[in-house]
Structure 1
Amino acid sequence: MRKAAHEGLNKGVVKDFHEPQAKEALLLAAGGLAEPKRWDKHLRRAAASMVLSVVYDQPTIKSEEDNTVKLINDFVQRLTRAAYPGAHLVEFFPWMRYIPSRFAKWKRDAEDWYKQDSAMFEGLFNTVHANVAKGDDRPSLSATLIRDSGRHQLSMRENSWLAGTMYAAGAETTSAVMAWWTLAMLAYPETQARAQAELDAVVGRTRLPTFADYPHLPYIRGMVKEALRWRPVDPVGLPHRSIEDDWYNGMFIPKGTVCIANVWHLNRDPEIYGEDAGHFNPARHLDANGDIAPGPPDTKEESHVTYGFGRRLCVGRHVANNSLFIDIAIVLWASKIERKKDASGQLLPLDVDGFVEDGLVVRPIPYDCDITPRFPEAAGLLAQEIELAGL
């Protein structure tokens, strides 16, 4: 299943998703200017809509309250609660797995959820299957899985669950990273100014940024890396299990040990990131010439460990990086993001360290911000591009 997902989302394939990602970035920037108070809802809608397009080739959704999004988010929340260490006694007493379902509510719940979620994921997947059968070959992960199902020897149900988990893993995490990035724009306005200066120099103000500008916007790309490093949305990492006996720094790790990496600490190691590792500084990812610098060893050129490690490295990271890049580039091209002020003109307090657990990820404590056009023509040019895109 992982091999199939990698082939459908690898670095060479994800360029096929540039168009829907750019459309969502346009709508995100326009939504922030039109309704700045709803900025967080705009982030959630844009991320959910983007991932639905990538996974199922679904059209743009109008709200984060879309029924498909609500159903999958409910799945994510149930999965998260079940995955918490110690959530069920069977984790400590494995013999309990043999208790018949009629005597074990936790087992009945899991079996009912499996039927319910399988029906949901298979319904979404079968819609793509029907479109492919009719000759509609628009790019999506599901379409790729359908074409390669014989080669990977995955059943329809296995493919549908693989596609569903790719959505579940992608939407919430992407919007959470953008929420932390927005907070960084308020707490570190100098980084916003430097990114906008780069946009003015490379893109100008008569057109919007596109993926063609990617090689020429290293500071924006560094900003993506820094948003992921500075506030990892899964700061304690997902559990891994050792597949053989191992030693690490004099400590013996037996085969079958559950290991949880301290992603937060690894991303803030001053020996790697410097004494300012606790601060948001995209320039740390640039070399002396202003280009993207090589990342630390074993980070797969990501310059952080937020995407995980080794064989379980996030398979959707290329999609996420591209989405974050175009979202940040277009939003900063069009908008100024500033801290709110009280009636006397004093800046409202900003908590950059607080967080709330929200499903699979942690998000910043809710806050308000002012979002205004960066220059007079910005909103009009955005509206023009949205119209040309048929949105």
Structure 2
Amino acid sequence: MGVQTWIFISDPVLAQEIFMTHGVATSDRLSHRFFNYYSHGGRGIICSNAGKGWQRARTAALSILAPQRVNEFTDVLLYEADILVEQLLSRSQLYGQVDPSTYLQNAAMNVILTTCFATRINSPESQLFKDIMEHMHGGLKMVGIENDLGQFLPIMSALDVILGKEKVYSDYVGKCRDPLLVRLIEEALSSGKDSMMKTLVALKEEYGLNDKDIIVIMSDLLGGGTDTSFVTMSWMIVILSHYDDVQKKIQAELDTFIRAHGRLPVFEERDQIPYTIAVQKECIRYKSVNSFAMPHMASRDLMVRDYFIAKGTVLVANTIGMHMNPDVYPDPETFKPERFLNNTRTMTSSANGDVNQRDHFIFGWGRRVCPGIYLAEVEMFHIFVRIFANASIAPPLDVDGKEVPIDMDTVLDTGLLIMPQPYQVRFIPRVDSPLR
């Protein structure tokens, strides 16, 4: 691509060799002008190169996102899941059908806000919700490769100067992102409530972090923890609106558990609802939330099998290519939850284990694997279980009252994430649920 060499990888086993066996040499980030501004010159965990500062920031993030720490916020996660399901059902009953995206996004955002900053948003109409959306959408727009064409064709750098992109990046960080994060951090620290923010600040000295490190790390968690969970849940709803038979099997499995225990299952009991877990994993595989994972860059020359990878080569995991690879998933174009029935391992365990037993590849690779997998997985589990214990999902109706299946092939590509086009769906209360 211009003066750069890009390698796209669709074979998971080869990707494992490149990103894990040779991870020390393949964990840097693609050079991008915006990354330098976003990361304050190489801070944080998403956009910075894999040097010592990145290692300290990542270790600190892993400390506050560890399973035992996340489990301390179980009541928060359950509360947000219950509120979300209540909203989806009430709006659907009021208007006949509903676009769930705003409510899903609000719920995902509240999970990060409550656990990390000890605050929450009561309504998508609030100014805080709008400020955070401006921060996240602004970053998504700027991180696209088309916003740094000079890395491919150096002569194009002159165009960036003419268009004033440096000022755009500087204004985004200095006038939008940083003031928002500073406000959230100060409010979290002054709050009487527990939060991951307080834990991170307590680790500052141990990991050699300063105030700018804290801002970038929390920006990483806020952006990375909100949009991916929201888009994943949005796709799950779209997919299952097409499969009433799958929904009935989930509900039957949940009903059996509820009758035996008098309550909904918790995350630690996922082995008792294997079909429900299999459906979740198949939804993630069937409709990837991204086409390609965040690009890595080789920090030195290396050989992998018979491939020579030169220093500076950009290495990209082709997520859709892997999820639709027939050597990995037989009959990949078919939605088939049964393929995961014998795999109820956590997604955290899967992402860090044997590549031949991985369920899917959306959480990245090797040293760059997402540190927030466990939080995202527990969040999605509680929402998923509560939706199907209380409701069924049905396609929208046209003006004549006929069901219109949602188009799953027309997507909205935001650059980093692939979302369903805006859609309406019906959440129908279950009168046969044991919870009633």
TM class, shorter-length: 0.7 to 0.9
Which of 92, 95, 104 in structure 2 is aligned with 1:43?
104
Which of 367, 371, 387 in structure 2 is aligned with 1:315?
371
Could you tell me which residue of structure 2 aligns to residue 187 of structure 1? Answer: 242
For 2:186, the aligned partner's letter is: N
Which of 232, 239, 245 in structure 1 is aligned with 2:288?
232
Give the C-alpha shift of residue 102 in structure 1. 9.1
For 1:176, the aligned partner's letter is: V
Deviations 1:269-326 (A, max 9, x none): 2222212x22333221122xx8559959655975111111111111111110001100
Whether the aligned pair in 1 keeps the contact of 2:394 and 2:425 (CA below 8 Å) is yes
Could you tell me which residue of structure 1 aligns to residue 197 of structure 2? Answer: 142
Whether the aligned pair in 2 keeps the contact of 1:137 and 1:143 (CA below 8 Å) is no
Matched, 1:357 2:416: no
Alignment of 1:1-391 (within 5 A): 1-36=57-92, 37-59=98-120, 61-92=121-152, 105-116=164-175, 117-131=177-191, 136=192, 138=194, 140-204=195-259, 207-211=263-267, 213-248=269-304, 250-275=306-331, 277-287=332-342, 292=345, 298-299=354-355, 303-342=359-398, 346-358=402-414, 360-375=416-431
**1:359/1:302 Cα in 2 relative to 1: closer, same or farther (>3 Å)?**
same
For 1:242, the aligned partner's letter is: A
SS, match of residue 252 in structure 1 = strand
Give the C-alpha shift of residue 13 in structure 1. 2.2
Could you tell me which residue of structure 2 aligns to residue 386 of structure 1? Answer: none
Structure 2: gaps (5+ residues): 1-56, 93-97
Q: CA RMSD in A?
A: 2.9
SS, match of residue 124 in structure 1 = helix
SS, match of residue 259 in structure 1 = strand
What CA distance in whole angstroms lies between the structure 1 residues aligned with 2:91 and 2:275?
Answer: 28
SS, match of residue 76 in structure 2 = helix
Structure 1: gaps (5+ residues): 382-391
Whether the aligned pair in 1 keeps the contact of 2:270 and 2:344 (CA below 8 Å) is no
Give the C-alpha shift of residue 376 in structure 1. 6.0
Could you tell me which residue of structure 2 aligns to residue 384 of structure 1? Answer: none
What CA distance in whole angstroms lies between the structure 1 residues aligned with 2:415 and 2:134?
Answer: 9
Deviations 1:11-63 (A, max 9, x none): 3322122211111110111111101214222212211111211221213x222
SS, match of residue 363 in structure 2 = coil
**1:301/1:145 Cα in 2 relative to 1: closer, same or farther (>3 Å)?**
farther
Whether the aligned pair in 2 keeps the contact of 1:191 and 1:281 (CA below 8 Å) is no
Whether the aligned pair in 1 keeps the contact of 2:104 and 2:230 (CA below 8 Å) is yes
SS, match of residue 428 in structure 2 = strand
Structure 1 range deviating more: 244-253 or 76-85: 244-253
What CA distance in whole angstroms lies between the structure 1 residues aligned with 2:330 and 2:156?
Answer: 49
SS, match of residue 72 in structure 2 = helix
SS, match of residue 270 in structure 1 = coil
Deviations 1:219-240 (A, max 9, x none): 2222232222221211211111
What CA distance in whole angstroms lies between the structure 2 residues aligned with 1:344 and 1:94?
Answer: 57
For 1:198, the aligned partner's letter is: E
What CA distance in whole angstroms lies between the structure 1 residues aligned with 2:400 and 2:171?
Answer: 56
Of all paired residues, the percent bearing the same amino acid is 24
For 2:174, the aligned partner's letter is: K
Whether the aligned pair in 2 keeps the contact of 1:209 and 1:333 (CA below 8 Å) is no
For 1:72, the aligned partner's letter is: I
Whether the aligned pair in 1 keeps the contact of 2:293 and 2:316 (CA below 8 Å) is yes
TM-score scaled by structure 2? Answer: 0.77
Whether the aligned pair in 2 keeps the contact of 1:299 and 1:305 (CA below 8 Å) is no
Whether the aligned pair in 2 keeps the contact of 1:174 and 1:324 (CA below 8 Å) is yes
Whether the aligned pair in 2 keeps the contact of 1:77 and 1:360 (CA below 8 Å) is no
**1:354/1:247 Cα in 2 relative to 1: closer, same or farther (>3 Å)?**
farther
What CA distance in whole angstroms lies between the structure 2 residues aligned with 1:371 and 1:336?
Answer: 6
**1:368/1:113 Cα in 2 relative to 1: closer, same or farther (>3 Å)?**
closer
**1:44/1:86 Cα in 2 relative to 1: closer, same or farther (>3 Å)?**
closer
SS, match of residue 426 in structure 2 = strand
For 2:291, the aligned partner's letter is: P
Structure 1 range deviating more: 145-154 or 115-124: 115-124
What CA distance in whole angstroms lies between the structure 2 residues aligned with 1:25 and 1:104?
Answer: 44
What CA distance in whole angstroms lies between the structure 2 residues aligned with 1:367 and 1:189?
Answer: 18
SS, match of residue 187 in structure 2 = helix
Give the C-alpha shift of residue 330 in structure 1. 0.5
Give the C-alpha shift of residue 6 in structure 1. 0.9
For 1:35, the aligned partner's letter is: R
SS, match of residue 147 in structure 2 = coil
Whether the aligned pair in 2 keeps the contact of 1:222 and 1:292 (CA below 8 Å) is no
Give the C-alpha shift of residue 127 in structure 1. 1.6
TM-score scaled by structure 1? Answer: 0.85
Give the C-alpha shift of residue 182 in structure 1. 0.3
